[in-house]
Amino acid sequence: MESILNKLGECVEFGKINQASPYPPAMKEQAGADELTKEALNTGIEPQNILNDALIPAMDRVGNKFTEGKIFVPQMLLSAKAMNEAMKHLKPYFQNGEIKRKGTFIIGTVTGDLHDIGKNLTGMMVEGAGWEVIDLGVDVGADKYISALDQYPNAICGMSALLTTTMSNMESIIASIREKHPGAKVIVGGAPLNAKFAEKIGANAYGAVPQDDINWLNSNI
Amino acid sequence: MNTWIQTIIDSPTRVAIPIMTHPGIEAIGKRIIDAVTNGETHFQAIKALAEKYTVTACTTIMDLTVEAEAFGATVNMSDHEIPNVTGRLVHDMKSIEKLQVPSLSMARIPEYVKATKLAVEHLNKPILSGCIGPYSLAGRLYDMSEIMVAIYIDPDTINALLAKCTDLIIDYCKKLKEVGATGVVIAEPAAGLLSNEDCSEYSSKYVKRIVEAVQDDTFTVILHNCGNKGQCTQAMIETGAGALHFGNAADMVNVLETCPENVVVMGNIDPVGILKQASAETVYRTTTELLEKTAQYKNFVLSSGCDMPPMVPAENILAFFQALDDFNKR
């Protein structure tokens, strides 16, 4: 059991999506996250253990390496893709409640902004940390966040913006959300933002890198 | 050595070349959409800034959608926001093989060339025009998240796309040179998300081709990479560009220590956190601190860390230039 989970964790950490993937060269032709997750389930390993003992620790290592500047966006995205391959096999267990998640995170790029690489990266990393992620996409206004919060009342919201013109939309979106959901918690991020701006617009937190979001979300459990 | 680069390095005083056009668009009472679609309006914005501030050279709008639109990508425009590319134009080798390198008559390229030409003809200052970098352009055509993965999963496809992007950029830069620009700021922010090795392989290799095709004694390439936090400075140097422009994530002293003395190094006052959001006093203090830290380097040019965003207070821009004037009087 430990051997499969260790191998699966390595696949996620180093971005080995499946056997056919040529990356990383050192793991060429070896089974990837796809095959190893299937194997783990077939050998009777509990889905919750696959998540807790292989996938989450691997993504945690990935997040830390990115924060420390040891890996960059492509490597992190490859790890996230490997994680997603594993998650496809676990999906039925999330749906029937056999695997428990830490909470729900609603994420989107705000009104007027169509950039999504930061939002995608953060969403994938947060999912890899054991949270359910509801991705609202790009150009997201208050109405979509409110609808999502109606459906997931205990969820935490994440907002992304790349443009200086659209980051200013965050303030009114947060205000509108809190009119309907007064206790709503919001974390914001994006290249032109900083912690001071986040505080000024009423956000609860600022994430400079995905690991900041994960750490703050985990502190809210 | 390039004449303009030599002039900068030999200058007895420190010079400033912030990358800014939005304050000019606002000064003439126009909207962003007016300037990005009309070369005459674009020129008037550049002119307004040249008359108001003591810039050593003028820059054009850093619009990272012009070349993608020429290839056929859909661009979303609104009155007061910078244009964005939407959707994905190519997704595999087959669609890239079909992709035609556009002529310079496509989309808004003629308007951008016109703005540069008018600025050269009417302003008595060097004009640094602008274009996108090959990796950033390829990312806009292929999808930015997908290209980041594809450089590892399917590098041949991405190299084929980069070659076509580079061909267009070379043609475009040759045209800007022909109309009299002193140089071109090649904006390559997406390459700043890569390691030094990947930046070298998927950006610098192609930027070098552009440099070799257009840079000479009369025309300079200024490579802008505001995503670089210091990890890919060597890859930027490899391009042979006469000047390198850095964002506020980079430590300018470290960068100046790394770069050769004959390469102009530009940067890097935070365009949002300082120039847009801070007080004029903070802008003055931050600019002065940067000037003092970099005083010993003759190849340093004071600049913003990226294109100055819309709605930067005029008093903050004045404070930026006041700090420069006071520093030069010492």
Helix (H, G, I), strand (E, B) or coil at B216: strand
Dist CA B309 CA B292 (whole Å) = 25
What residues have CB less than 8 Å from B10, skipping those under 6 apart? B298
* Contact between B207 and B153 (Cβ < 8 Å): no
Q: What is the CATH number of the domain that holds B214?
A: 3.20.20.210
Query: SS3 for B222?
Result: strand
Please write the tens of the pLDDT for every residue from B224-234: 999 899 999 99
Is residue B7 pLDDT above 70, yes or no? yes
Asked if B273's CB is within 8 angstroms of A116's CB, the reply is no
pLDDT tens column, A9-25: 999 999 999 999 999 99
Q: Which helix (H) or strand (E) holds A40?
A: helix A33-42
B228 Cβ neighbours under 8 A, 6+ residues apart: B191, B192, B199, B236, B246, B247, B249, B250
Mean pLDDT of B290-303: 97
Report the domain count for chain B: 1
Q: Is the pTM of this model over 0.90?
A: yes
Nearest to B153 among A23, A116, A120 (CB): A23
The pLDDT score that the predictor gives to residue A162 is 85
| Residues in A touching B78 (Cβ below 8 Å) | 112
**Per mean pLDDT, which range of A29-33, B1-5, B8-12, B285-289 is the poorest?**
B1-5
- The per-residue pLDDT of chain B, averaged, comes to 96
Residues of A in contact with B148 (CB under 8 A): 73-74, 77, 117
Residues of A within 8 A of B231 (CB-CB) are 69, 72
Domain carrying residue B161: 3-329
A164 chain-B contacts, CB cut-off 8 A: 271-272, 276, 309-311
Tell me the pLDDT tens digit for each residue of B90-122. Answer: 999 999 999 999 999 999 999 999 999 999 999
Q: What pLDDT sits at residue A192?
A: 85
Residue of A nearest to B151 (CA): A74
Query: Is the Cβ–Cβ distance between A142 and A110 less than 8 Å?
Result: no
Q: What share of chain A is helix, strand, coil (3-state, %, to 5)?
A: 55, 10, 35
Of A207, A213, A168, nearest in space to A190 by CA: A207
* pLDDT given for residue A106 in this prediction: 98
Dist. CA A52–CA A9, nearest whole Å: 10
- Mean pLDDT, range B269-289, rounded to an integer: 95
- Asked if B145 and A121 come within 8 Å (Cβ–Cβ), the reply is yes
Rounded distance between C-alpha atoms, residue B227 and residue B194, angstroms? 9
For residue A2, what pLDDT band results from cuts at 50, 70 and 90? low
Residues of A in contact with B311 (CB under 8 A): 164-165
In angstroms, the CA B210 to CA B213 distance is 5
Burial class for B296, CB neighbours closer than 10 Å (0-12, 13-18, 19+): exposed
Residue A15 sits at the chain B interface (C-beta within 8 Å): yes
Mutate to test the interface with A, among B26, B31, B148 (most CBs of A within 10 A): B148
Give the B-side interface with A, CB within 8 Å.
Answer: 76, 78, 80-82, 84-86, 144-145, 148-149, 151-153, 193-195, 198, 229, 231, 271-273, 276-277, 309-311
Q: What is the mean pLDDT of residues B11-20?
A: 96
Model ipTM value: 0.91
3-state secondary structure at position B211? helix
pLDDT at A56 > cutoff 80: yes
Q: Looking at CA atoms only, how far is residue B122 from chain A in angstroms?
A: 31
Confidence of residue B78 (pLDDT cuts 50, 70, 90): confident
Domains of chain A: 2-95 (1.10.1240.10), 104-219 (3.40.50.280)
Pick the residue of B84, B140, B251, B308 with the most A CBs within 10 A to test the interface with A by mutation. Answer: B84
Point out the residue among A71, A78, A192 whose CB comes nearest to the CB of B149.
Answer: A78
Banded pLDDT at B81 (limits 50, 70, 90)? confident
- Alpha carbon separation from B208 to B161, B170, B200, B237, B316 (Å, rounded): 16, 11, 10, 10, 36
Task: Report the run of H or E that residue A106 belongs to, with start and end.
Answer: strand A104-109
Task: Out of B81, B148, B198, name the one closest to residue A163 (CB).
Answer: B81
pLDDT tens for residues A174-205? 999 999 999 999 999 998 899 999 999 999 99
Using CA coordinates, name the residue in chain B closest to A113: B84
How far apart (Å, rounded) are the C-alpha atoms in residues B162 and B65?
Answer: 16
Instruction: Kindly state the tokens that stand for A2.
Output: 């430990």
Does the pLDDT of residue A107 top 70, yes or no?
A: yes
Mean of the pLDDT values across residues A121-137? 93
Contacts of B151 in chain A (CB under 8 A): 74
DSSP letter (8 states) at residue B275 = I
| Long-range contacts of A202-211, Cβ-Cβ distance < 8 Å, separation of 24 or more | A202/A171, A202/A174, A202/A175, A202/A178, A203/A159, A203/A170, A203/A174, A207/A122, A207/A158, A209/A63, A209/A66, A209/A67, A210/A63, A210/A66, A210/A76, A210/A121, A210/A122, A210/A125, A210/A126, A211/A63, A211/A64, A211/A66, A211/A67, A211/A125
- For residue B236, how many other CB atoms are within 10 A of its CB? 30
Q: Phi and psi (nearest 5°) for B171?
A: -60, -45
Phi, psi dihedral angles at A208 (to 5 degrees): -80, -35
d(Cα B199, Cα B190) in Å, to the nearest integer? Answer: 9
Using CA coordinates, name the residue in chain A closest to B276: A164
> How many interchain CB pairs under 8 A, A with B?
75
Residues of B in contact with A74 (CB under 8 A): 148-149, 151-152, 193-194, 198
Mean pLDDT for B79-98 is: 93
Q: Which residues of B touch A121 (CB under 8 A)?
A: 145
Chain B residues whose beta carbon lies within 8 Å of the beta carbon of residue A23: 152-153
What is the reported pLDDT for A1?
58
